[in-house]
Amino acid sequence: MDVTLLLGGLLLAGTSALAWRSHRRARRAEAEAAGLRLALDAERHAAGHDPLTGLPNRRAFYRYGAELVADRHRPAIAAVVVDLDDFKQINDQYGHAAGDTVLRAVARRLADYAGDDLVARLGGDEFAALLTGAAIDVARGRPADRLSAVLSTPIPLGGTADDTTVTVTASVGLVPVPPGASLAEALGRADEEMYAAKSARCREPQAAPAHPPPDTASPEITGQPAELARSKAGGS
């Protein structure tokens, strides 16, 4: 065998092996970098979102909301604070798992209502939003009635033998955010409106039902705080 051919073959084989090893190292480095990016993205998402509802959390709401409010070319904005009425009763009567189910359902309904607008869970049973455009028009006038209507459909708790559902009401504060106002100032005024609405609800006279069934309550939003409704499959 020609020595030159032999050496050439060995050199080619060595070069190919080296190229293959380099390719594998590059692919491994790319995979590690992609995994690191995914981990960082997941960490950033977790840092800015509520783990129970998936909504932005308080920190993310203030960060993104402050940028939106400060934009001099922004559309008209309304700051909204939503606080569920007597939510503790749900936890006490049905347990914290049921309360979590209600919070997730409320979060979905508020997010659907807000569309592309910013909505967040501030903590506990309190939510906030920055509404623009049509969402403001729908909520303006009687925001408690408009936004409470979003929550009016009974929420199935799941995992119960009698297909229990609950209906919640909410106290709502909605204020316009004028140019030059800060997000903290706007939310403070919305919070005051919300507490005023909650106090007004508490002062409303509550008429006793004529002949209430022994184990059920009306599933309708009546304007009274925290109407808890238990209904069974087939209605009873």
Q: What are the residue numbers of the active site?
A: 125
For residue 149, which amino acid is it?
Answer: A
Q: Which residues on neighbouring strands pair with residue 127, listed in sequence order?
A: 82, 121
Contact partners, residue 173, CB within 8 Å, separation at least 6: 80, 81, 143, 189, 190, 191, 192, 193, 194, 195, 196, 197
Question: Residue 135 corresponds to which tokens in the numbers above?
Answer: 């969402």
Question: Residue 27 corresponds to which tokens in the numbers above?
Answer: 């692919």
> Using CA of residue 179, residue 180, residue 186, residue 187, what is the dihedral sign?
positive
- Per the CB < 8 A criterion, the answer to whether 147 and 139 are in contact is yes
Q: Which residues of 143-174 are buried (b: 16+ CB within 10 A; e: fewer)?
A: bbebbbebbeebbebeeeeeebbbbbbbbbbb
Q: Give dist(CA 226, CA 171) in Å, integer.
A: 10
Helix (H), strand (E), coil (C) string for 161-178: CCCCEECCCEEEEEEECC
Q: Give dist(CA 54, CA 5) in Å, integer.
A: 66
